[in-house]
Amino acid sequence: MTAPVAHNMPSEGAGQAAPAPSATAFRMTAGRISLDGREILRGIDLAIEPGEVVAVLGANGSGKSTLIRALLGLIPLSGGGTELYGVPPARFREWWRIGYVPQRLSVGGGVPATVREVVASGRIARQSRLRLTSAADRAAVARALAEVGLGDRAGDPVQSLSGGQQQRVLIARALAGEPDAFVLDEPTAGVDAASQRLLADTLADLIKAGKTVLLVAHELGPLEPLITRAVVLREGCVVHDGPPPLAVGAHALPGHDHVHPHAPQAGAEALSGWSDAALGAPHREPGSLT
Ligand SMILES: Nc1ncnc2c1ncn2[C@@H]1O[C@H](COP(=O)(O)OP(=O)(O)OP(=O)(O)O)[C@@H](O)[C@H]1O
């Protein structure tokens, strides 16, 4: 599903709250979401600590994007609760701490914005009302553009860029905000190999710097070695939360039906069955989910 362009979102709620710096970055407790009368998330318990690198995996429609959006307070829960750095989204004020990278097709939206303008919007949550754009803002935007290799495209309309480059613009927008946590919804989907590698390099730097990373993925590709924890959803429930399964990027994801005649059938007991599509696959790689 396509998420709206929303990054470092200002909150509408009442009252100030001061999150503790060391608080759990994202927490959902017994989270339930119903949309159009259908239960999409069915009792999710999840806590992501600062510095963790977590991938949310699962088949199409399993609820990955819904989970991410609910954690950010973009979708109201029908049961349970969520917290951002220890504070419910409606009272959360430090939106600069979260850099959200929505699915790439939502960038631009027909508005003729330049690359620089889109990236600069990532500074909004850090800007004071009195002084809209500071030298620090301009420097952060320039750094972010350089980081994703788009310094020479700053003045170009976003729509003139390729899909992979537009994805880089969204990542640069998140980088520009210098957040503590990055939330990326399908950052590799439909993105060319060069942009995927660049994303992996960028994320590796962020992880080294201690940033929290939460991403949704169908295929991890070059991001796979960076992931330290996988949360696998199936039909709105968490069916695995722990170390990423081996070869998750290539074999444990929906649609994998490659046959390996050399491999045994054992090795997937605990986690088998999370992917409906993969259940039909005739082979399970040792240690993989499928
Ligand atoms: N606004 C909505 N109204 C009704 N149903 C919705 C809405 N948004 C999502 N859904 C449904 O909720 C289910 C989960 O959707 P979601 O986008 O979270 O899944 P996903 O795991 O991210 O899937 P994909 O990998 O295809 O993006 C799907 O069946 C989807 O059709």
Taking only the tens place, the pLDDT of each residue in 20-41 is 556 999 999 999 999 999 999 9
Give per-residue burial for 137-159: e unless 16+ CB within 10 Å, then b. beebbeebbebbbbeebbeeebe
* Separation between Cα atoms, residue 210 and residue 208, nearest integer Å: 5
Nearest CA to ligand 1 atom 3: 35
pLDDT at 8: 39
Q: Name the most confidently modeled range: 50-59, 194-203, 247-256.
A: 50-59
Residue 126 tokens, joined: 């850090």
* pLDDT level of residue 115 (50, 70, 90 thresholds): very high
Best probe residue, ligand 1, of 38, 39, 40, 215 (max atoms within 8 Å of C-beta): 40
Nearest CA to ligand 1 atom 29: 61
Q: Which of the pair, 287 or 182, is modelled with greater confidence?
A: 182
In a domain, 2, yes or no: no
ipTM of the complex: 0.95
Best probe residue, ligand 1, of 44, 64, 66, 72 (max atoms within 8 Å of C-beta): 66
Percent of the chain with pLDDT over 70: 72
* pLDDT level of residue 228 (50, 70, 90 thresholds): very high
| Phi, psi of 42, deg, nearest 5 | -125, 70
Residues 79 and 107 in one domain: yes
pLDDT at 12: 35
Residues 215 and 251 in one domain: no
* Separation between Cα atoms, residue 268 and residue 259, nearest integer Å: 16
Query: What's the average model confidence in pLDDT over 247-256?
Result: 44
Residue 18 alpha carbon to ligand 1 centre in Å: 33
pTM over 0.90: no
Tell me the Ramachandran region of residue 115: left when phi exceeds 0, alpha when psi lies from -120 to 50, beta otherwise.
Answer: alpha
Q: Which of the pair, 286 or 103, is modelled with greater confidence?
A: 103
* pLDDT level of residue 5 (50, 70, 90 thresholds): very low
In a domain, 78, yes or no: yes
Domain that residue 152 falls in: 26-244
Instruction: Say how many domains are in the chain.
Output: 2
**104: which DSSP letter?**
G
Residues 136 and 263 in one domain: no
Residues 210 and 252 in one domain: no
Which residues are CB-neighbours of 252 under 8 A, at least 6 positions away? 57, 245, 275, 278, 288, 289, 290
- At 100, is the secondary structure helix, strand, or coil? strand
Residues 39 and 135 in one domain: yes
In a domain, 20, yes or no: no
